[in-house]
Amino acid sequence: MWKSLNTQIFIAAILGLAFGWLLSLGDPTHVEVTTWQSGSLYILGLLSGVFIGLLKMLLIPLIFCSIVVGVANLQAIGRFGRVWKITLLCFMTTTTLALFLGLACAHIFDTGKGLDIALFQDQMANYQAPDTLSPSAFFSNFIQNTLINPFKAFSDGNVLSVVIFALLVGAVIVAGRGQFDTAQQFFQQGFEMMMKLVQWVMYIAPIGIFALLAKLVATSDFEVLGSLAKFATVVTGTTIFHGLVVLPLLLWLFGRISPWRFFKVARPALVTAFATSSSSATMPLSMRCAQELGVSPQVSGFVIPLGAQLNMDGTALYEAAAALFIANLMGLELSLTQQIIVCLTAMLASLGAPGIPSAGMVTMIMVLQSVGLPAEAIAILLPIDRLLDTVRTAVNVQGDMMVSAVVQRHVSDADLLEQNMA
Ligand code: ASP
C-alpha cells in the first residue's frame, strides 16, 4: 500500500508540474473569472488547502507528543544523552558543509558579477525593509518569542516553543521515576493516534501535491527568473549537489544506508517538501518515512521535529550564496573575515528560520546586515524565492531524515556493544 502510494505521489508531482505549465500558457492570474484557467486555479487552491490544512492540524499535537514520548523513553533507557549529542553534532556538520558549498559556488561561478545593480533599483526602492535584525536583537527576540505560555504557543503554532515545552515535560516524566506513568501512557497513545491520522492524510497526498505544484508553476513569474537565471541555476545546482552527493555520502559512511534505498523510501517526504516549501508541514511524513527506513519512533520522534526547526542545510547554503551574490552585484569584495561572519550569521539564520515557505528570506536580512549590505537588496531575490524554496526545503527535510538514520545506527551500535559485553 505504502509502496503504491509512494509511486502515486511521484506521478502526481510530475502531472502537477505539467498541468501548471499548461495553465500558465493562458496567464491565468489575469483572465476573467469564467475562464477554465482561473476556475482550475480556484479548485487547485481548495485542494491544496485541504491537504496543507490537514497536515498543519496534526503538526502541533504530533510534535508535542512525539518529543515528550521520545525524551521520556530514551532517557529511561539511558540513551538520551547519546542521541542528543550525536544529533547536534550531525546538524552542525551538515550545515557547515552546506555553508562552505554555498560560498564555494558563489566564488567559482562569480554570481552577480556582470549584472547591473541599476536593473533592480526600482524593486529595491519599493521595498520596505523591516527594522534592523542584529544578532543581539535576534537573540532577545528569540527568547521573548520562545519562552511563552504553552497554550499560546499551541494556538499560534509556534513550533520552537512547543519543542522546548515538550522537552521539559519529557524530562519531568523521567524525573518522576514512575510517578507520571499515566501521563506518559496518555502521550504515547496520543502519538500513536497522530501517526495513524498521518496515514489517513497520506491517502489524499497525491491530490494535494498535484494541486500545490500546478498552482506554483501556474502563478510563478518565470520572466523575472530569466534575469537572475545564473544565480538561480548555480544555487539550485549546488543545493541539489548537496542533496544528491554530500548527504548521501555521509549517510552511507555513517548510517550504512544505501542512497538508493534512502531515496526510494524517503521520496514521499521529499516530494511533499518540494511541493509545500515547508519543513514543518512535511514533518509528519518525514517521521513516517524515517520509521520506514528503520529509525525507531523514539529517535525519529525526537530528531525530526528538532531538525525541522533547527537543521536547514538548504537554507544555510542559500543564505551564504545569496549574500555573496548581492555583494558582487553591488561591486563589493567581501574579505575573508566578512565571509566567515556571513557563514556564522547564515548558520544562526538557518537555526532561527521556522520551517515555513520563504522563512529564509526574512532571516537573511540578518546575514546581509552583518556585513553591511542593505536589507532592501532582498527585494531582488523575492520574486524568485518561492521557486528556489522548493529545492532547498526538500534538502532541509532530507537532512533531518538522514540525521535520524545516522543517530539510530549509533544508538543501536552502542546497544549491541553493551549486549556483547554483558
Ligand atoms: N521553506 C524552508 C523550510 O521550510 C525555510 C526557508 O525558507 O529556507 O525548510
Query: What's the chain look like in SS3?
Result: CHHHHHHHHHHHHHHHHHHHHHHHCCCHHHCCCCCHHHHHHHHHHHHHHHHHHHHHHHHHHHHHHHHHHHHHHHHHCCCHHHHHHHHHHHHHHHHHHHHHHHHHHHHHHCCCCCCCHHHHHHHHHCCCCCCCCCHHHHHHHHHHHHCCCHHHHHHHCCHHHHHHHHHHHHHHHHHCCCCCHHHHHHHHHHHHHHHHHHHHHHCCHHHHHHHHHHHHHHHCCHHHHHHCHHHHHHHHHHHHHHHHHHHHHHHHHHHCCCHHHHHHHHHHHHHHHHHHCCHHHHHHHHHHHHHHCCCCHHHHHHHHHHHHHHCCHHHHHHHHHHHHHHHHHCCCCCCHHHHHHHHHHHHHHHHHCCCCCCHHHHHHHHHHHHCCCCHHHHHHHHHHHHHHHHHHHHHHHHHHHHHHHHHHHHHHHHHHHHHHHC
Residues 6+ apart with CB under 8 A from 346: 99, 102, 316, 319, 320, 323, 367
- Quote the ligand 1 centre to 240 CA distance (angstroms): 15
Q: Cell 524525573 identifies what position?
A: 175
Q: 290 or 361, which is more confident?
A: 290
Provide the percentage of residues in the chain whose pLDDT is more than 90.
40
Residues 6+ apart with CB under 8 A from 267: 6, 9, 10, 289
Atom of ligand 1 nearest to the CA of 277: 1
| pLDDT at res. 84 | 84
Q: What is the pLDDT of residues 139-168, one digit of tens each?
A: 777 788 788 999 999 998 887 888 889 989
From the CB of 400, is ligand 1 less than 6 Å away?
no
From the CB of 389, is ligand 1 less than 6 Å away?
yes
Q: 82 or 102, which is more confident?
A: 102
In one-letter notation, the amino acid at residue 159 is V
- CATH annotation of 5-421: 1.10.3860
Atom of ligand 1 nearest to the CA of 385: 7
Residues 6+ apart with CB under 8 A from 178: none
| pLDDT at res. 33 | 47
Q: What is the pLDDT of residues 373-390, one digit of tens each?
A: 888 888 888 878 888 999
Q: What is the pLDDT of residues 113-137, one digit of tens each?
A: 766 666 666 666 665 655 555 667 7
| pLDDT at res. 263 | 95
**Residue 416 confidence (pLDDT) above 60:** no
Mean pLDDT over 185-200 rounds to 91
CA separation for the pair 69, 183 (Å, rounded):
10
Q: 175 or 244, which is more confident?
A: 244
- Quote the ligand 1 centre to 346 CA distance (angstroms): 13
Q: Ligand 1, residues 392, 397, 400, 401: which to mutate, most atoms within 8 A of Cβ? A: 392
377 grid coordinates? 537588496
Residues 6+ apart with CB under 8 A from 98: 242, 246, 313, 314, 316, 317, 395
- Quote the ligand 1 centre to 180 CA distance (angstroms): 37
CA separation for the pair 398, 389 (Å, rounded):
14
Q: In residues, how long is the chain? A: 422
Average pLDDT of the chain is 85
Q: 413 or 204, which is more confident?
A: 204
- Quote the ligand 1 centre to 345 CA distance (angstroms): 16
| pLDDT at res. 406 | 95
Q: 145 or 241, which is more confident?
A: 241
b/e for 25-60, b at 16 or more Cβ within 10 A?
eeebeeeeeeeebbebbeebeebbeebbebbbebbb
Task: Evaluate the CA torsion angle 55, 198, 304, 97 in order and state its sign.
Answer: negative
CA-closest residue to ligand 1 atom 3: 355
Provide the percentage of residues in the chain whose pLDDT is more than 70.
86
**Residue 47 confidence (pLDDT) above 80:** yes
**Residue 312 confidence (pLDDT) above 90:** yes
Q: How far is CA 152 from the centre of its chain?
A: 23
Residues 6+ apart with CB under 8 A from 13: 209, 210, 213, 271, 274, 275
From the CB of 345, is ligand 1 less than 6 Å away?
no
Question: What's the pLDDT band for 323 if we cut at 50, 70, 90?
Answer: very high
Residue 167 CB coordination number (10 Å): 17
Taking the domains of the chain in order of start, what are their residue ranges? 5-421
- Quote the ligand 1 centre to 382 CA distance (angstroms): 14
CA separation for the pair 289, 299 (Å, rounded):
13
Residue 98 CB coordination number (10 Å): 34
pTM of structure? 0.84
From the CB of 279, is ligand 1 less than 6 Å away?
yes
Mean pLDDT over 24-53 rounds to 75
